[in-house]
Amino acid sequence: MPPTLPISPTDRVFILCGAGVSAESGIPTFRGVGGLWQNFRIEEVASPEAWYRDPRMVWEFYSMRRRAASTAKPNPAHFALAKLENTLQDRLFVCTQNVDRLHELAGSKNVIHMHGELFKSRCDTCSRAPFADTNVYDPPAEVPRCKCGGRIRPHICWFGEMPFELDRIYEALDGCTVFLAVGTSGVVHPAASFVDHVAGRARTIYVGPESPENASSFAECYLGKAGQVLPNLFSVL
């Protein structure tokens, strides 16, 4: 078990979450045993090229993920982060790579979804804002259309696309004194290089059951499951 992590009244905490945070809620991670990328090829289901080549296959993949995530419940890691937000308010910045809504279901109000949101869709042509969408679009049904004639696509950052809210994210990274990454394998950029952006200036900590690819960038690594470590990690002074 890691020592507790004291948070002083002047600390500003940046938390980067990865798929491991939702693993204990039954949502599969991407890499490793049982990971989604063992059964699907990224370039066939999660890229702009896939969308233009075969949008129905892309919807089949995201429909499956909507189905799997629709009954998932937050775990103690999500609740710990919601509680921390309650205490630290705007001194906490949670940036998740996860597209599920488990942070929100646990009570978090300010979570940046840098890779998008599974239960939102948007038009692939016009600038209509992303909208809530829990539908599953299974082939052979047609891909849904926007009023403008464009196709409705998942509101997800695909490989080759720019993550969302990077301006706010780098502003928060610049101002943080504590940087904690949880449950992320440290291979997908730019998220995997956030730690290098703050190194030397902020306290850097990793929590997860195994060392991430970018472990050498962290000053401290604590091995353990998010749902077991996070509820006892923070000690707000």
| Catalytic sites, residue numbers | 115
Q: CA quadruple 179, 185, 186, 188: dihedral positive or negative?
A: negative
Give the one residue of 5, 13, 19, 169 binding ligand OAD; rule: CB under 6 A: 19
128-152: burial string, b at 16+ Cβ within 10 Å, e else? eeeeebeeebeeeeebeebeeeebb
Show the binding pattern over residues 97-136: x = contacts Zn ion (CB under 5 A), - = does not.
--------------------------x-xx-x--------
Part of the chain binding ligand OAD (CB under 6 A), chosen from 12-20, 78-86, 126-134, 195-203: 12-20
Q: Does 188 bind ligand OAD (CB under 6 A)?
A: yes
Q: Does 209 bind ligand OAD (CB under 6 A)?
A: yes
Residue 64 binds: one of ligand OAD, Zn ion, none (C-beta under 5 to 8 A by kind):
none
Give the one residue of 25, 63, 97, 204 binding ligand OAD; rule: CB under 6 A: 97
**Is the Cβ–Cβ distance between 203 and 179 less than 8 Å?**
yes
Residues that bind ligand OAD (CB under 6 A): 18-20, 23-24, 29-32, 35, 46, 97, 115, 157, 183-185, 188, 208-210, 212, 225-226
